[in-house]
Structure 1
Amino acid sequence: MDAKPPLRILLCAPRGFCAGVVRAIDAVEQALKLYGAPVYVRHEIVHNKYVVEGLKKKGAVFVEELSEVPDTKAPVIFSAHGVPKSVPAEAADRNFFAIDATCPLVTKVHREAQVHFKRGRHILLIGHRGHPEVVGTIGQLPEGAITLVETAEDARAIAPADPENLAYATQTTLAIDDTAEIVAILRERFPAMAEPHKEDICYATTNRQEAVKKVAPKVDAMIVVGAPNSSNSQRLREAAERAGCARSALVQRASDIDWSVFGAVTSLGITAGASAPEVLVEEIIDAFAERFAVDVESVTSAQEDMFFPLPRALRPSAAE
């Protein structure tokens, strides 16, 4: 038997679950523990098929809209991405036991948007049309209160009615560099524009992108473990390409690896989006270990110790 070719794997740290995702998944698991199945969840709790399938097996029922939920006393959980105001209103109308697992960092963006609106400012939201987080943020305010800015071209083209009364906010999972370019254009055009007190792009998105930027120039190829509909995972793949890695792919499971692309590399970077569980990273390393003599080392760009407590209805005291 031929000796396996050597492969150096650089593992990005931090990677994978962020505090908001851990809290959202824990919320579903805790609701199942306290109240039993079924527990209804509006939208994928996090954008990861593996996580969603695992929770389904335990008794979680995923729906896209509350209209799909029968009249029930069972908990109804809102996903980490946040929801428009109309959703909790509909839940209240139907007397649902609603639990909001929106990431606290998304809630912060919602609150800031509401404050700007009260102060008479029009809000420019930097984000991706149709992403659940963006839908949720726009849905905090009356129609027309927020203008979506997706690209630098949009930033150059928008013509707000009152350029002196503007504020901007951003989706929490954007590419730092893209967003910086858009913000710079907006600042130049609208110097009076109000800014977030603290960066809206969340710490986890920032840290994962920084780790990728450190690793990408040192490897032949990069794998981002994550789902195609996960915004922060897509941004990691783009960050790897920008940082000089010619081959980068978003991969959900080991079975998705394209060996015609990854079969002949000598060095590989691996990271995972904020909604991808570590077990999938290990599965992918194992797949490479079957073909290569792997040497794995970790490259750390930041230490993370962020923790968010569970929604109140799920804390131990709630069950008593």
Structure 2
Amino acid sequence: DLRARGAVFVDELDEVPEGAMTVFSAHGVARKVEAAAAARPLPVIDATCPLVAKVHAEGRRYAGQGREIVLIGHAGHAEVEGTIGQIDGTVYLVQTIEDAQALQVTTPDKLAYITQTTLSVDDTRGIIAALKLRFPNISGPDVRDICYATQNRQEAVHHLAELVDLILVVGSKNSSNSNRLREIGAELGRPSYLIDDASALQAAWFEGIRTVGLTAGASAPEVLVQGVIEGLRQFGTVEIELLAGTPEDVKFKLPAEVA
């Protein structure tokens, strides 16, 4: 746990004391945040996920071609705010198919889309299809920018729902990918709950339930998952079956500051 090791989490750069080592989260930050940190100056480790940085680069490239940008994502999400802040030019935020169908732009023939990396692949495909129908000349990367960890977990929940009576998702309430895992479970007809940790478990959930499926958001630490397994023991005997998932052997380089 980073807090136990002395890390302090802040939302705004002006909360950082002078001279304190500053880490930009995997969600990425806006250019103005980078500039403000450099101006103070603060020592910085940029831990932006390479997949997010790739979206930033795509957005800047499209904007450099004179295109307006459509960002498919969730309003208020840290990654979305960082991505918008990385692009010079007009960025339209689209969250749903209905948004795409109603979107009004200035240059419909010079348009490109990019995506938040932690969305549902299925939902994103639908929004992209709606954008292409409305703006036939739009450019974009299909769904290749969806985080592989997000996609793998969504596919695993589809399989899990066939085998269990109830699904638990360990993750933060403000995590897009964790919320989507819970939504997928519910859409597939299984009672599904998003929990931060074992303290959120409620006995009423498990009345008449024989088999529980447990998964976690992409950034949920394993210690929380293990804690939930232990927490389930208060409701009865727990026998664990681990389902094989898609191997994740992608390795990213460490940030240059700590490599």
* Cα distance between partner residues in 2 of 1:214 and 1:85: 40
Match of 1:312 among 234, 244, 256: 256
- 3-state SS, counterpart of residue 242 of structure 2: strand
Match of 2:144 among 199, 209, 214: 199
- 3-state SS, counterpart of residue 295 of structure 1: coil
* Cα distance between partner residues in 2 of 1:71 and 1:289: 47
Residue aligning to 1:186: 131
Q: Residue 172 of structure 1: CA displacement? A: 0.5
Distance 1:205 1:151, change over 3 A: same
- 3-state SS, counterpart of residue 313 of structure 1: coil
- 3-state SS, counterpart of residue 238 of structure 2: strand
Letter of the aligned partner of 1:78 in structure 2? F
Segments of 4+ moved more than 3 angstroms:
none
Match of 1:177 among 98, 113, 122: 122
Q: Does 1:243 align with 2:192?
A: no
Residue aligning to 2:204: 260
User: Any unmatched runs of 5+ in structure 2?
Assistant: none
Q: Residue 197 of structure 1: CA displacement? A: 7.1
The question of whether the paired residues in 2 share the 8 Å contact of 1:216 and 1:241 is answered with no
Residue aligning to 1:158: 103
User: Any unmatched runs of 5+ in structure 1?
Assistant: 1-53, 316-320
Q: Does 1:66 align with 2:13?
A: yes
* Cα distance between partner residues in 2 of 1:168 and 1:281: 35
Q: Does 1:292 align with 2:236?
A: yes
* Cα distance between partner residues in 1 of 2:45 and 2:139: 32
Residue aligning to 1:302: 246
Residue aligning to 1:102: 48
Q: Does 1:111 align with 2:61?
A: no
Task: Provide the alpha-carbon RMSD of the alignment.
Answer: 1.4
* Cα distance between partner residues in 1 of 2:13 and 2:225: 33
Name the TM-score, length of structure 1 as normaliser: 0.78
Bigger relative CO (Cα 8 Å, ≥ 6 apart): 1
Question: Which range moves more in the overlay, 290-299 or 94-103?
Answer: 290-299
- Between Structure 1 and Structure 2, how many residues are aligned? 259
Deviations 1:147-182 (A, max 9, x none): 000111101100111111111111011112211111
Match of 1:149 among 88, 94, 98: 94
Deviations 1:235-266 (A, max 9, x none): 11011112232x00001111101211124311
Distance 1:258 1:277, change over 3 A: same
Q: Residue 214 of structure 1: CA displacement? A: 0.6
Distance 1:197 1:149, change over 3 A: closer
Letter of the aligned partner of 2:241 in structure 1? E
Letter of the aligned partner of 2:49 in structure 1? C
* Cα distance between partner residues in 2 of 1:132 and 1:198: 20
The question of whether the paired residues in 1 share the 8 Å contact of 2:63 and 2:69 is answered with yes
* Cα distance between partner residues in 1 of 2:188 and 2:111: 33
Question: Which range moves more in the overlay, 161-170 or 285-294?
Answer: 285-294
Q: Does 1:129 align with 2:72?
A: no
Residue aligning to 2:21: 75
- 3-state SS, counterpart of residue 71 of structure 1: coil
Letter of the aligned partner of 1:66 in structure 2? L
* Cα distance between partner residues in 2 of 1:262 and 1:85: 47
Letter of the aligned partner of 2:158 in structure 1? K
- Taking only the aligned residue pairs, the percentage that are identical comes to 51
Letter of the aligned partner of 2:58 in structure 1? E
Residue aligning to 1:280: 224
- 3-state SS, counterpart of residue 62 of structure 1: coil
Q: Residue 268 of structure 1: CA displacement? A: 1.0
Letter of the aligned partner of 2:237 in structure 1? A
* Cα distance between partner residues in 1 of 2:169 and 2:99: 29
The question of whether the paired residues in 1 share the 8 Å contact of 2:172 and 2:178 is answered with yes
